């Protein structure tokens, strides 16, 4: 009603202006009529006087002529009375055309053609006016169409500004809602579409075409041109994905286009209808979503994706405020969430790699309570025993523990930022964050830990520290659960709530580090064993252990000292693994195919290495099978072995007959070679016969077991 009253006042002022503008002409016309009337009166008086004179001079001669003049005068006055409105109306028309007031001019043409000219008669000037009327109508139609084209060009140029203004309005309203304020748009004094664009050309053109009976032509033309503009607006720039401003310009133009159409829809009667606008919106929605999917796929910056998401939400909220359905946009944002998550995982992969590469893998020294509290604020660590110790002291884990934990929290915050304003429930947000965090744990962090464990030149000390670090990170997983619950307001014990896989991730990493320790220990043992230089043809063994084995035992002693910080089971398993590998490798060293011959002296030296050194290193007991094999040969106790083989109480139960046969074959070859010139010595001959007998019996034993 306020707008209607304002419109009435505007029209009243225009009428008053028009009346004021033409008042003087009206007065002049009346004055002229009065003058004519006066002159006519004078003329009448003169005619009367003349008539009197004529009557007096010749009543009979002048009566007829006088009456004719009177009739002509009356006819002239009557014709002038009918022609004067035509002249006034045409003069008004000329002024309206000069002032470009085409709609009033069109109304004047209707009055001139419909009433004034027929009443005036068939004068020449009337015929000229009648001939000009169609040309004037065509001129008015063409000029109004030109104004419409200028209007369409204007709104095309101003679409960006209109859209920007509309989105600022919504942004301010949302900000006010967040601040729990309630201000109307009038109070905010934010300009609308009608304040940025003059819509009068389209209104005038619509009225003119309606009067001319060509409203359908006008509507079709307007809709056709706007469809063309819509296709141009919906065509994104090829480099739109490079900056946020490219997306912002794209959205502003689309919003501006539909704000104009919404204004036209509500301020005109039928120029556009709801079905037409909805058709355009369906087209815009499909093309916009397709463009966003294409261009956003090029983005590798999570901050840009997050800003784009916020811009899309504002874009959707703005158009939703004008009554357009935007559910598909929010569905697309949920699709983009997966892309955002993948980009976050790549970014955090680099962060984790950098943290792991820069870590010194040493316990953190703490010199003061303030420093201790700072670290405790970054990582939830509790150790009552360590708390009692005086400063300076060392935390058991290295710096990468607190840094990784902080990065996990930062990742959770980044996931939370994306989920805001997507019209999701707390449970959905909580589930989304937990699933994304699980991907970070099981895929990204797990791979980074595996990378740190498997990379070249990683030492045993670093692997030990990784085990300690992952143990503490595993213990902190329930704090991450609580952290997510606090920011989403969803209790961790909610039914169907996704659980974090951090415990399994850190367990797997710890197990991988343990396996790598076992592997590295075995590789080190193999390197020492490569230094072994036995004289397999020695006549007798030395009284001391080999140098390589002494160095190996010293290395193992220093290594196992590092294991004191590991859990007992891990340290024990590492020791046992090293023991088993050393035992197996020593036996394999003796049985290698390259070693074709072995003397008793070499076996005695090998026995010294195994028993004297390994027995003194109590943490690495030699394998019984290896001991018993050496005892069997050095004591030459074949009768016991062959007699008791297979019994549970057999002394040499773990000595494999295949192994024994392979080794005695090497000694057999040695005996033959060494005794080829002493074959006539009785003792040597007896020994050779004994070896042959043992070989034969071992082969029979093997054949019997295989059968």
State the pLDDT at residue 170: 86
Return the residue matching tokens 């201790």: 372
Q: 70 pLDDT exceeds 60?
A: yes
Q: 260 pLDDT exceeds 80?
A: yes
Range in 33-37, 152-156, 424-428 the model is least confident about: 33-37
Q: 159 pLDDT exceeds 90?
A: no
Q: Which residue has the higher pLDDT, 250 or 173?
A: 250
State the pLDDT at residue 654: 77
pLDDT above 70: percentage of residues in the chain: 89
State the pLDDT at residue 413: 94
Q: 626 pLDDT exceeds 70?
A: no
Q: 411 pLDDT exceeds 50?
A: yes
Q: 584 pLDDT exceeds 50?
A: yes
Angle at 392 between CA 387 and CA 394, to 5 degrees: 65
In terms of average pLDDT, the best of 99-103, 461-465, 644-648 is 461-465
Mean pLDDT of the chain: 81
pLDDT above 90: percentage of residues in the chain: 21
Provide the 3-class DSSP secondary structure of residue 290: helix
Closest to 240 measured CA to CA, from 170, 311, 167: 311
Range in 117-121, 215-219, 248-252 the model is least confident about: 117-121
How sure is the predictor about 552, in pLDDT bands with cuts at 50, 70 and 90? Answer: confident
Closest to 469 measured CA to CA, from 586, 359, 551, 386: 359
Q: 613 pLDDT exceeds 70?
A: no
Q: 189 pLDDT exceeds 90?
A: no
State the pLDDT at residue 60: 62
Angle formed by the axes of helices 502-529 and 547-562, nearest 10°:
160
> Using one digit for the tens of pLDDT, what is the confidence trace for 44-56?
888 888 878 877 7
State the pLDDT at residue 191: 56
> Using one digit for the tens of pLDDT, what is the confidence trace for 215-225?
898 899 999 99
> Using one digit for the tens of pLDDT, what is the confidence trace for 319-348?
998 889 999 999 999 999 999 999 999 999
Q: What is the mean pLDDT of residues 283-302?
A: 91
Q: What is the mean pLDDT of residues 262-279?
A: 89
State the pLDDT at residue 680: 44
Q: 283 pLDDT exceeds 90?
A: yes
How sure is the predictor about 251, in pLDDT bands with cuts at 50, 70 and 90? Answer: very high
Q: Which residues contact 352 (CB under 8 A, 6 or more apart)?
A: 404, 407, 444, 445, 448
State the pLDDT at residue 674: 52
Q: Are the beta carbons of 86 and 127 closer than 8 angstroms?
A: no
Provide the 3-class DSSP secondary structure of residue 637: coil
State the pLDDT at residue 182: 44
Q: 443 pLDDT exceeds 70?
A: yes
Domain boundaries, the chain: 1-52, 78-147, 158-324, 531-706
Q: 684 pLDDT exceeds 70?
A: no
Q: Which residues contact 385 (CB under 8 A, 6 or more apart)?
A: none
> Using one digit for the tens of pLDDT, what is the confidence trace for 499-535?
888 788 888 888 888 888 888 888 888 888 888 777 7
State the first-to-last Cα distance of the chain, in angstroms, to the nearest integer: 113
Closest to 342 measured CA to CA, from 242, 439, 432: 439
Q: 631 pLDDT exceeds 50?
A: yes
89's tokens: 């109306």
Range in 145-154, 411-420, 439-448 the model is least confident about: 145-154
């Amino acid at each position: 009603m306020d707008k209607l009253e304002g419109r009435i006042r505007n029209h009243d002022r225009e009428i008053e202006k028009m009346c004021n503008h033409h008042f003087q002409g009206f007065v002049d016309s009346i004055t002229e009529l009065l003058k004519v009337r006066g002159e006519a009166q004078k003329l009448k008086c003169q005619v009367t006087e003349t008539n009197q004179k004529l009557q007096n001079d010749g009543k009979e001669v002048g009566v007829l002529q006088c009456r004719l003049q009177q009739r002509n005068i009356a006819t002239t006055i009557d014709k002038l009375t009918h022609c004067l409105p035509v002249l006034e109306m045409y003069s008004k028309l000329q002024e309206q055309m000069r002032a470009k007031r085409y709609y009033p001019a069109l109304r004047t043409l209707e009055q001139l053609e419909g009433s004034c000219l027929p009443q005036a008669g068939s004068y020449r000037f009337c015929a000229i006016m009648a001939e000009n009327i169609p040309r004037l109508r065509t001129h008015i139609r063409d000029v109004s169409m030109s104004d419409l084209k200028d209007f369409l060009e204007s709104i095309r140029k101003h679409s960006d500004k209109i859209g920007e203004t509309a989105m600022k309005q919504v942004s301010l309203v949302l900000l006010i809602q967040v601040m729990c304020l309630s201000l109307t748009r009038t109070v905010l004094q934010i300009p609308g579409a009608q304040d940025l664009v003059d819509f009068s050309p389209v209104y005038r053109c619509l009225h003119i075409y309606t009067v001319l009976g060509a409203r359908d032509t006008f509507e079709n033309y307007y809709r056709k041109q706007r469809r063309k503009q819509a296709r141009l607006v919906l065509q994104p720039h090829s480099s739109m994905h490079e900056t946020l401003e490219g997306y912002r310009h794209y959205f502003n133009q689309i919003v501006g286009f539909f704000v104009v159409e919404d204004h036209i829809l509500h301020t005109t009667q039928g120029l556009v209808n709801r079905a037409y606008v909805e058709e355009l919106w369906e087209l815009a929605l499909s093309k916009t979503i397709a463009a966003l999917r294409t261009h956003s796929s090029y983005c590798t910056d999570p901050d840009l994706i997050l800003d784009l998401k916020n811009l899309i939400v504002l874009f959707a909220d703005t158009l939703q405020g004008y009554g357009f359905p935007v559910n598909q946009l929010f569905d697309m944002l949920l699709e983009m969430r997966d892309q955002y998550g993948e980009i976050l995982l790549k970014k955090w992969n680099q962060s984790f790699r950098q943290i792991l590469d820069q870590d010194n893998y040493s316990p953190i020294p703490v010199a003061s309570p303030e420093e201790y509290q700072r670290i405790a604020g970054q990582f939830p660590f509790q150790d009552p025993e360590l708390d009692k110790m005086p400063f300076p002291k060392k935390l058991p884990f290295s710096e990468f523990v607190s840094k990784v934990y902080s990065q996990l929290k930062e990742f959770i915050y980044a996931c939370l930022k994306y989920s805001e304003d997507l019209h999701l429930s707390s449970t959905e947000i909580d589930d989304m964050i937990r699933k994304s965090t699980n991907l970070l744990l099981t895929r990204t962090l797990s791979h980074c830990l595996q990378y740190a464990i498997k990379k070249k030149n990683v030492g045993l000390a670093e692997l030990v520290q990784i085990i300690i670090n992952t143990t503490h990170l595993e213990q902190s997983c329930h704090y991450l659960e609580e952290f997510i619950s606090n920011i989403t307001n969803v209790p961790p014990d909610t039914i169907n709530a996704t659980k974090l896989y951090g415990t399994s991730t850190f367990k797997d990493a710890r197990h991988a580090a343990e396996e790598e320790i076992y592997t590295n220990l075995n590789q080190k043992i193999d390197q020492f064993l490569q230094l072994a230089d036995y004289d397999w043809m020695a006549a007798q063994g030395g009284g001391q252990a080999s140098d390589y084995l002494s160095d190996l035992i010293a290395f193992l002693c220093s290594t196992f000292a590092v294991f004191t910080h590991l859990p007992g089971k891990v340290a024990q398993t590492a020791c046992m693994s090293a023991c088993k590998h050393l035992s197996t490798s020593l036996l394999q060293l003796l049985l290698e195919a390259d070693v074709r011959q072995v003397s008793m002296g070499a076996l005695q030296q090998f026995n010294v290495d195994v028993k004297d050194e390994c027995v003194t290193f109590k943490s690495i007991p030699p394998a019984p099978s290896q001991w018993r094999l050496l005892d069997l040969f050095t004591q030459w106790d074949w009768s016991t072995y062959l007699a008791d083989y297979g019994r549970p109480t057999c002394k040499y139960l773990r000595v494999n007959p295949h192994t024994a046969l392979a080794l005695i074959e090497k000694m057999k070859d040695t005996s033959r070679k060494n005794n080829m010139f002493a074959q006539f010595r009785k003792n040597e001959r007896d020994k050779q016969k004994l070896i042959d007998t043992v070989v034969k019996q071992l082969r029979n034993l093997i054949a019997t077991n295989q059968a």
